[in-house]
Amino acid sequence: MEREDYPKDFEQFITKFATEKDCYDYISSLRWPDGFICPRCHCGRSWKTKRSLIVCTDCAYQTSITAGTIFQGTRKPLRLWFHVMWWVMSQKTGASAKNLQHTMGFRRYETAWTWLHKLRRAMIRPAREQLKGTVEVDETFIGGEEEGAKGRKTVTKALVVIAVEVEEKKLGRIRFRVIPDASASSLIPFINDNITPNSTIVTDGWLGYTPLKKENYKHVVHNITQSKGKASDLLPHVHLVVSLIKRWLMGTHQGAVTPKHLTDYLDEYAFRFNRRLSTHRGKLFYRLMQQAVSTEPASRKKIIS
Ligand SMILES: [Zn+2]
């Protein structure tokens, strides 16, 4: 198959994925671009049954095309999954479970919710390139006290560390992580995991960042006492991203995000944000599909727990 083979618009989409077989073949070509190799005997000869099992010609090993993907064990047509994925990727600001339920006519809210969570799991996938160049890093609380619970505030805030690439004063890519506290032992591993060595890291004067001196980075500290300005002027790019994400959580999801699932939502936001300049929605669909076929399935039970 040609690399990066995806429909450019909805018309191409419905032509390309007209049957279940089209969808199976597409998944198969993404998973095994050079053809299926038997994991048991390593031969490259196989055939497909009518029920989309792959059978090794030499040793008769069997596997399904969707085993080990988020589609494993689904009772719904793949065409519906593809359709939902296309729809989710074409919602500029993301999709809520309620939206999805209405659009696709799912009888149960839970179905829509579970599907979106499966797709979010596919969005997080590692294999991401680290941020580089100049990167602003800061922490913030996301969430808040629940409305109408005066005097008995439910603490629903989560502490989140954010890294934002800054290219010529413009926003580049972003990363998030929910952290238990703002100590160095929470902050430094996040930076090591997400930012290439020798990058320039801009933070405020918080002690948690002091060990950066010993790491392989150039550390620039913006100090509130020096700037005499507002805290938001210190790290303007990070603060812009923080306000965007808060608005997104309140808007698209109407604040209905529990701290337990915040990571998933932040990952979805980063997935969309980091690809916001992609011109084709087909390309977003393609990226999500690539990740969906290499993401282990999770049951609804596992998602909730
Ligand atoms: Zn075999």
Q: Domain-by-domain residue ranges, the chain?
A: 134-274
If you measure from the C-alpha of residue 51 to the centroid of ligand 1, how many angstroms do you get, rounded to a whole number? 19
Q: What is the pTM of this model?
A: 0.74
Give me 137's structure tokens: 């890093």
Residue with tokens 């790290």: 235
Between residues 4 and 81, which one has the greater pLDDT?
Answer: 81
State yes or no: pLDDT of 79 exceeds 90: yes
If you measure from the C-alpha of residue 62 to the centroid of ligand 1, how many angstroms do you get, rounded to a whole number? 8
- For the chain, the first-to-last Cα distance in angstroms comes to 39
What letter does residue 73 receive in the DSSP assignment? T
- The confidence score (pLDDT) of residue 202 equals 95
If you measure from the C-alpha of residue 37 to the centroid of ligand 1, how many angstroms do you get, rounded to a whole number? 8
CB atoms within 10 A of CB 199: 20
If you measure from the C-alpha of residue 264 to the centroid of ligand 1, how many angstroms do you get, rounded to a whole number? 37
Superfamily of domain 134-274: Ribonuclease H-like superfamily/Ribonuclease H (3.30.420.10)
Q: Contact at 8 Å (CB) between 270 and 85?
A: no
Q: What is the identity of the amino acid at 185?
A: S
- The confidence score (pLDDT) of residue 147 equals 46
If you measure from the C-alpha of residue 294 to the centroid of ligand 1, how many angstroms do you get, rounded to a whole number? 21
The 10s digit of each residue's pLDDT in 120-148 is 888 876 556 899 999 999 999 887 654 44
If you measure from the C-alpha of residue 61 to the centroid of ligand 1, how many angstroms do you get, rounded to a whole number? 5
If you measure from the C-alpha of residue 78 to the centroid of ligand 1, how many angstroms do you get, rounded to a whole number? 27
If you measure from the C-alpha of residue 291 to the centroid of ligand 1, how many angstroms do you get, rounded to a whole number? 26
